[in-house]
Chains A and B, each alone.
Chain A
Amino acid sequence: MFAGLAIASAISMVYHKNPLYSAISLVGVFISLSCIYVTLAAPFIAAVQILIYAGAIMVLVVFVIMLLNLDDDKPLNRLRYLYALGGGLGVILLAQTLFIFYAVMKAPNTPADQTMTAGKTLSLRRAMYTEYLLPVEIVGVLLLMAIIGAVILARRLSQPQLELVVEHELELEHKADH
C-alpha cells in the first residue's frame, strides 16, 4: 500500500508543471518511504528520513520555490538532449531492478532470523561505531568539507570586497559599543 502511495506521489512529482506541487509530492514520497521503513522494522531510519528529508531539506526547497515564484511554462527546448540522457539512465535503472529481482528470486528462501534487530537504534549504534567506524568517519569528514565549501561558495568575494565587508562589520560593532 505504501509502495503504491510512494509510486503515485513520485509520478505526480514528475508530471506536475508547477514546481511547488512537485515539491509537495516529493514530501509524499518521503513520508511513504518512511512508512515502508517502519513496516520493515527500522524505526530509526524512518524517523531520520522524516526528520531530515521531509522536515529540513524539503522545507528549504519549498521555501526557495515560494520566494522565486517560478513561471509555469519555462523554455524546455534548450534541454531536449537531456531526454535522451534520462531515457538511457532509466533503462539502466530498470535493468538493475530486474537484476535485483532475479537475484532475490534465485537466493535460497531462508526464514527471517527473529533475533536479528538490524533496524533498532541500539544495534545500529553498535554497528556504526565498531565495525563500520572508518566509513562513518569518512562520511563525517566529507560532509564537513561540503559545509565549508558551501560557505565559501556563498561568500565568494574578491579581496577588496572582503575588506569592505570586514570594515563595515567592525564599524557596526563600534557603533554597538556606544
Chain B
Amino acid sequence: MESVLKTAFPFVVITVAVLIAFQMVLMIVAYTVLAERKILGWIQGRIGPNRVGPWGVLQPFADLLKFIFKEDLVPDKSTKFVYFLAPMVALTCALMPMVVYPFGPMITSVDWSFLPFGLGEGIHVLPLTIARIDVGVLFVLGITSVGVYGIALAGWSSNSKYSLMGGLRSSAQMISYELAMGASVIGVVMLSGTLDLNGIIQAQITSPFRWFIIPQFIGFFVFLISAFAETNRVPFDLPEAETELVAGFHTEYSALKFALFFMAEYVNMFTVSVMCTVLFLGGWYVPGLEPLARLVGLGEYVHSGTIAYALISHMAFIGKICAFLFFYIWVRGTLPRFRFDQLMNFGWKFLLPVALGNVILTIIVVFFLNR
C-alpha cells in the first residue's frame, strides 16, 4: 500500500499542479476579456459591461453560458473533420506552454516530513514550475508556432472566401513575425547562456543590470511588436479586419467552437506576456526585496526559499503580466490598423534586420566582456 502511494504521489502532485495552473491561467484570461471591455469602454468614454454582478464582475461566466447554449452551426460544404479539429488545435497549442512557466521561486524552507506514510521523504524543494526542461524558450516558441495550424486549417475548412483570406493572412503574418521574435530572443539567451526559463531569471538576478530590458532594449521592443503580430492583436489584427473580411478565419464558427478560438487568442496574449516578463523583466524577481525586508525587520521570514518570499515574488510575476495585458488593451484602444503590405514590409524590412543587428551587437559585446 505504502509503496503504491509513494509511486503514485508524484503523479498526483503534478496533476494537482497542472489543475491549479490551468485554473489560474483561465481565470486570468476570463478577466482579461472583462478588463478589455471595461478599459476600452473608458477609453471611448463609455461605461462598459456593468449589469452582471456588481461592477460586471460575473460577465465572463455569463458569456460562457451564452456560448454554451447558442446553436452550433456547421457550414454545409465545410470539411467536417478539419473544421472540428481546428479550434482544438488552436486552444491546445495555446495552453501547452503553461507547463514550463516559472510561476515563482523555489520554496526550500518547508519541512515536508509531516506528510503521512513518509511521502515527504527526500523532498526538499518545491519548485513553482510544473516541468523544468532545459529548452523552455524553444518549447514555448515551437508550440506557439504549431498554433498557426489552428488558424490556417479553420480558414481552409470553413469553405468561405472570407475565412480563407483571413486564415492565409494570419498564417503569413505569424510565420513572418515568428522570425523577428526568435531573433529578438537570441540576445537574451546569449546574455544568460541558457534556454531554460528559470535559468534566464537566475541569470538576471546575478547580472549587474537586474533586468534584461536594460541591456536588451532593442530586443525588447522587437519582441513586443512581434508579440502583437503573433497574437493577431491591433494594430496587426488584419486576419480579423471587419471592414474587409467580416470576421476573418472564424467567420463561420459559432457557439463553443468560436469560444475556443476566442480563448486561444487571449491565452496567447497571456503566453507572450509571460515570455516578455521572464525574458526582459526578470520574471518573478523583485529587485531589492530581501534588503528591504531586512530593513523593516522581517528578514527572518522573507528571504530566498521561504513561503512569504515565494508568494510576494509570485504576486510580482502576476502583476508584471497584468501590466503587459493592460498595455495590449491600451494599444487596442489607441492605434488604427495597418494595411497588409505595410505589415509585411514592416516585418521583413524593418523588424527582422533590427533584430539581427541586435544579435550581432550582442555577440560583439558579450565577446569583449568575456575576454
Q: Which residues of A contact B (CB under 8 A)?
A: 20, 24, 27, 31, 43-44, 46-48, 50-51, 54-56, 59-60, 62-63, 66-67, 120-122
The distance in angstroms between the C-alpha atoms of A62 and B170, with both chains bound, is 13
Contact with A along B142-176 (1 / 0, CB 8 A): 11011011001101100000001001100110010
> Knowing A51-B141, A63-B152, A66-B167 touch, does A120 contact B172 (C-beta < 8 A)?
no
Which residues of B249-264 are within 8 A (CB) of A?
none
Asked whether, in the complex, the Cβ of A55 is within 8 Å of the Cβ of B168, the reply is: no
Q: Which of A27, A44, A50 contacts B143 (CB 8 A)?
A: A50
Measured CB to CB, the closest approach of chain A to B152, in angstroms, equals 6
Asked whether, in the complex, the Cβ of B138 is within 8 Å of the Cβ of A59, the reply is: no
Q: Which of A20, A47, A59 contacts B175 (CB 8 A)?
A: A59
Asked whether, in the complex, the Cβ of B82 is within 8 Å of the Cβ of A24, the reply is: yes
Measured CB to CB, the closest approach of chain B to A149, in angstroms, equals 20
The distance in angstroms between the C-alpha atoms of A152 and B164, with both chains bound, is 30
Does B29 count as interface, using CB distance less than 8 angstroms? no
The distance in angstroms between the C-alpha atoms of A121 and B21, with both chains bound, is 27
Asked whether, in the complex, the Cβ of B145 is within 8 Å of the Cβ of A43, the reply is: no
Which residues of B119-158 are within 8 A (CB) of A?
133-135, 138-139, 141-143, 145-146, 148-149, 152-153, 155-156
Asked whether, in the complex, the Cβ of B148 is within 8 Å of the Cβ of A59, the reply is: yes
> Knowing A51-B142, A51-B145, A55-B148 touch, does A24 contact B135 (C-beta < 8 A)?
no
Residue of B nearest to A58 (CB): B149
Residues of B close to A31: CB separation below 8 A: 146
Does B178 count as interface, using CB distance less than 8 angstroms? yes
> Knowing A62-B152, A63-B172, A66-B164 touch, does A55 contact B146 (C-beta < 8 A)?
yes
Residue of A nearest to B148 (CB): A59
Asked whether, in the complex, the Cβ of A67 is within 8 Å of the Cβ of B138, the reply is: no
Query: What are 29 A-B interface contacts by the 8 Å CB criterion?
Result: A20-B82, A24-B149, A31-B146, A43-B134, A43-B135, A44-B134, A44-B138, A46-B135, A47-B138, A50-B142, A50-B143, A50-B145, A51-B138, A51-B141, A54-B145, A54-B146, A55-B141, A55-B145, A55-B178, A56-B178, A59-B149, A59-B152, A59-B175, A62-B153, A63-B168, A66-B156, A66-B168, A121-B194, A122-B134
Residue of A nearest to B156 (CB): A66
The distance in angstroms between the C-alpha atoms of A63 and B114, with both chains bound, is 57
> Knowing A62-B152, A66-B152 touch, does A121 contact B135 (C-beta < 8 A)?
yes
Does B195 count as interface, using CB distance less than 8 angstroms? yes
Residues of A close to B148: CB separation below 8 A: 55, 59
Asked whether, in the complex, the Cβ of B146 is within 8 Å of the Cβ of A50, the reply is: yes
Q: A44-B138, A47-B138, A56-B145 known; 12 other A-B pairs, CB under 8 Å?
A: A20-B82, A24-B82, A44-B135, A44-B195, A47-B142, A54-B142, A55-B141, A59-B148, A62-B152, A63-B168, A66-B164, A67-B168
Residue of B nearest to A55 (CB): B145
Residues of A close to B82: CB separation below 8 A: 20, 24
Q: Which of B133, B146, B149 contacts A43 (CB 8 A)?
A: B133
The distance in angstroms between the C-alpha atoms of A155 and B253, with both chains bound, is 40
> Knowing A63-B172, A120-B134, A121-B134 touch, does A20 contact B139 (C-beta < 8 A)?
no
Asked whether, in the complex, the Cβ of B153 is within 8 Å of the Cβ of A24, the reply is: yes
Residue of A nearest to B144 (CB): A55
Residues of A close to B145: CB separation below 8 A: 50-51, 54-56, 59
The distance in angstroms between the C-alpha atoms of A122 and B196, with both chains bound, is 11
